[in-house]
């Protein structure tokens, strides 16, 4: 045997059958790739690295809180892009405008009454934002009917303050023709009251907002304690009755000098349905960090909380209030946790397809290799049966020629090393059939049957 032939046979023993590998491997790879492609359709896209939020007027509570959110989100690599506004009504309009970039907004409860908000979701209540009615008068006022004939700053166009002020004035029968209702809000309303250009102002916001806090200390300016506060809370479901205790603002100066009855809507965090769920979770974590502190009108940990006065509660927010921070984010940075969370779905084809493929593919490969040997066994068995049944049908040389063809075919079977035992067994059986032919057949030409 030449060296070339010996090396060729050694190579055949060492290598796997490429044809068998491709026959088994390509369909398996195609099936696995199809599984991964299907799973990829359910992989959530990566969250953007910025989030647009509509806040409120300069110096207002909304703007102050948005700045605190921005600082928290920056720690997770997300840029919070603030868009100032006139207030809740404008914020709501931006959220509903499909051409606007706004994804999140702070909205005063009760603002959305009568508006189609099917594409919006509540992320919960953030805090009480009381209605503060400051006025100048020689005597104490406690009813809105006492403001007839006066100049009243009811909030800028597009603000939630304006909508609430008009609701309450209408409930008290104070029509626009019975008072001068001016579209001033925030710091502009404060300045107008200081310069006596208005007699009363309506402000909605936290006690430490830039508009409310200075008026609590302003000489000659009073804070109205609403005699009908409980009635307002019953008539308007989005309002709650609050009490500002005597001295709660400043005990040294005894501000306020008596308990003050107020009504308060809720500051609500609202998201458009297109907002990425991961950013919703991150924003809720920021809100929890910012709003969970104790305050004049809230206990520690009372806010944020689930609330849906005007909008259905987001499923992501519902999960947050039930279970807290997502499991992975408790131990990993935001981006790492989010990446793993998104990729979990890719484990489905691994367990559903890859493991079964790894289990059955070797067996299928083995079957294909063995099947070629079994096919020669079938030919050998058929030849032996013919010899046993009618040995005179062919001459010995013709029978041996048939056997040689089978043997030559066996020598050319590409057989990996792991299956050579079967090959040598087949060759031994070839010798047994050869012995049968030599024993059962005479020399010479076959007889015609």
The string of pLDDT tens digits covering residues 324-376 is 888 778 888 887 877 777 777 666 666 777 677 777 777 777 777 778 787 88
Return the CATH number of the domain spanning residue range 130-264: 3.40.190.10
pLDDT at residue 97, as a whole number: 92
Across the range 386-412, mean pLDDT stands at: 84
Beta bridge partners of 267: 108, 127
The string of pLDDT tens digits covering residues 98-110 is 899 999 999 999 8
Tokens of 308: 């849906």
pLDDT at residue 13, as a whole number: 45
The domain segmentation of the chain, as residue ranges, is: 3-37+349-440, 45-126+268-325, 130-264
Which residues fall within 8 angstroms of residue 28, CB to CB, at 6 or more apart? 357, 361
Mean pLDDT of all residues in the chain?
A: 85
Is residue 62 within 8 A of residue 267, CB to CB? The reply is yes
Top-confidence residue, 179 or 377:
179
What is the sign of the dihedral through the CA atoms of 88, 90, 96 and 101? negative
User: How far from the centroid of its chain's Cα atoms is residue 78's Cα?
Assistant: 15
Is residue 114 within 8 A of residue 310, CB to CB? The reply is no
The string of pLDDT tens digits covering residues 26-75 is 777 777 677 666 665 666 677 899 999 999 888 788 998 999 999 999 99
Is residue 181 within 8 A of residue 154, CB to CB? The reply is yes
Which residues fall within 8 angstroms of residue 62, CB to CB, at 6 or more apart? 55, 56, 87, 106, 205, 267
Beta bridge partners of 242: 262
pLDDT at residue 28, as a whole number: 72
CATH classification number, 45-126+268-325, choose in 3.40.190.10, 3.40.50.300, 3.40.50.800, 3.40.50.1820: 3.40.190.10
Top-confidence residue, 168 or 441:
168
Confidence of residue 1 (pLDDT cuts 50, 70, 90): very low
The string of pLDDT tens digits covering residues 300-320 is 999 999 987 789 999 999 999
| Burial environment of residue 102 by CB neighbours within 10 A (0 to 12, 13 to 18, 19 or more) | buried
- CA distances 204 to 57, 107, 321, Å, are 11, 12, 26
* CA pair distance 223, 266, nearest whole angstrom: 20
Tell me, yes or no, if the pTM score tops 0.85.
Answer: no
* CA pair distance 224, 233, nearest whole angstrom: 16
Tokens of 402: 């048939």
Measure the CA angle with vertex 294, ends 110 and 249; round to 5°.
85
The string of pLDDT tens digits covering residues 222-277 is 999 999 999 999 999 899 999 999 999 999 999 999 999 999 999 999 999 999 99
pLDDT at residue 36, as a whole number: 65
* CA pair distance 221, 89, nearest whole angstrom: 28
Is residue 128 within 8 A of residue 307, CB to CB? The reply is no
User: How far from the centroid of its chain's Cα atoms is residue 188's Cα?
Assistant: 41
* CA pair distance 60, 205, nearest whole angstrom: 7
* CA pair distance 325, 335, nearest whole angstrom: 14
- CA distances 64 to 108, 205, 284, 366, 389, Å, are 15, 11, 17, 71, 103
Fold: same for 45-126+268-325 and 130-264: yes
The string of pLDDT tens digits covering residues 421-437 is 787 788 888 888 888 88
Is residue 129 within 8 A of residue 107, CB to CB? The reply is no
For the chain, what percent of residues have pLDDT higher than 70? Answer: 87
Is residue 166 within 8 A of residue 172, CB to CB? The reply is no
* CA pair distance 183, 236, nearest whole angstrom: 23
Lowest mean pLDDT among 153-167, 181-195, 315-329: 315-329
DSSP labels, 167-231 = HHHHHTT--GGGSEEE---HHHHHHHHHTTS-SEEEEES-TTSTTHHHHHH-TT-EEPPPTTHHH
255 DSSP assignment: B
């Amino acid at each position: 045997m030449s060296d070339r032939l010996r090396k060729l046979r050694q190579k055949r023993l060492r290598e796997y059958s490429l044809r068998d590998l491709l026959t088994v491997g390509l369909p398996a790879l195609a099936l696995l790739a199809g599984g991964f492609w299907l799973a990829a359709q359910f992989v959530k896209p990566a969250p953007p690295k910025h989030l647009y939020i509509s806040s409120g007027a300069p110096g207002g509570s909304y703007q102050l809180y948005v700045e605190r959110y921005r600082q928290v989100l920056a720690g997770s690599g997300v840029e919070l892009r603030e868009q100032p506004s006139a207030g809740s009504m404008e914020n709501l309009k931006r959220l509903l405008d499909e051409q606007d970039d706004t994804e999140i907004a702070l909205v005063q409860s009760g603002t959305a009454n009568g508006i189609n908000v099917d594409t919006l979701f509540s992320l919960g209540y953030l805090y009480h934002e009381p209605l503060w009615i400051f006025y100048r008068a020689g005597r104490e006022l406690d009813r809105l009917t006492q403001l007839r004939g006066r100049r009243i700053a009811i909030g800028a166009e597009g603000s939630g303050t304006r909508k609430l002020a008009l609701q309450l004035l209408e409930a008290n029968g104070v029509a626009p023709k019975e008072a001068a209702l001016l579209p001033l809000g925030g710091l502009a309303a404060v300045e107008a009251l200081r310069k006596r250009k208005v007699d009363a102002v309506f402000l909605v916001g936290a006690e430490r907002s830039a508009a409310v806090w200075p008026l609590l200390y302003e000489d000659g300016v009073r804070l109205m304690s609403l005699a009908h506060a409980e009635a307002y809370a019953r008539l308007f479901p989005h309002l709650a009755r609050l009490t500002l205790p005597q001295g709660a603002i400043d005990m040294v100066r005894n501000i306020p000098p008596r308990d003050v009855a107020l009504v308060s809507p809720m500051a609500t965090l609202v998201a458009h349905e297109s907002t990425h769920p991961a950013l919703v979770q991150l924003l809720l974590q920021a809100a929890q960090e910012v709003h969970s502190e104790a305050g004049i009108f809230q206990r520690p940990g009372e806010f944020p909380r689930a609330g849906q006065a005007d909008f259905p509660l987001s499923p992501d927010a519902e999960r947050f209030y039930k279970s807290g921070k997502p499991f992975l984010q408790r131990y990993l940075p935001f981006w790492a946790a989010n990446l793993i969370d998104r990729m979990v779905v890719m484990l489905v084809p691994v367990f559903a397809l890859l493991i079964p493929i790894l289990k059955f593919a070797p067996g299928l490969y083995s079957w294909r290799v063995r099947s070629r040997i079994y096919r020669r066994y079938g030919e050998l068995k058929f030849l032996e049966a013919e010899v046993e049944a009618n040995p005179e049908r062919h001459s010995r040389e013709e029978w041996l020629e048939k056997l040689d063809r089978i043997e030559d075919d066996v020598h050319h079977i590409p057989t990996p090393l792991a299956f050579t035992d079967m090959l040598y067994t087949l060759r031994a059986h070839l010798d047994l059939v050869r012995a049968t032919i030599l024993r059962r057949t005479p020399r010479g030409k076959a007889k015609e049957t």
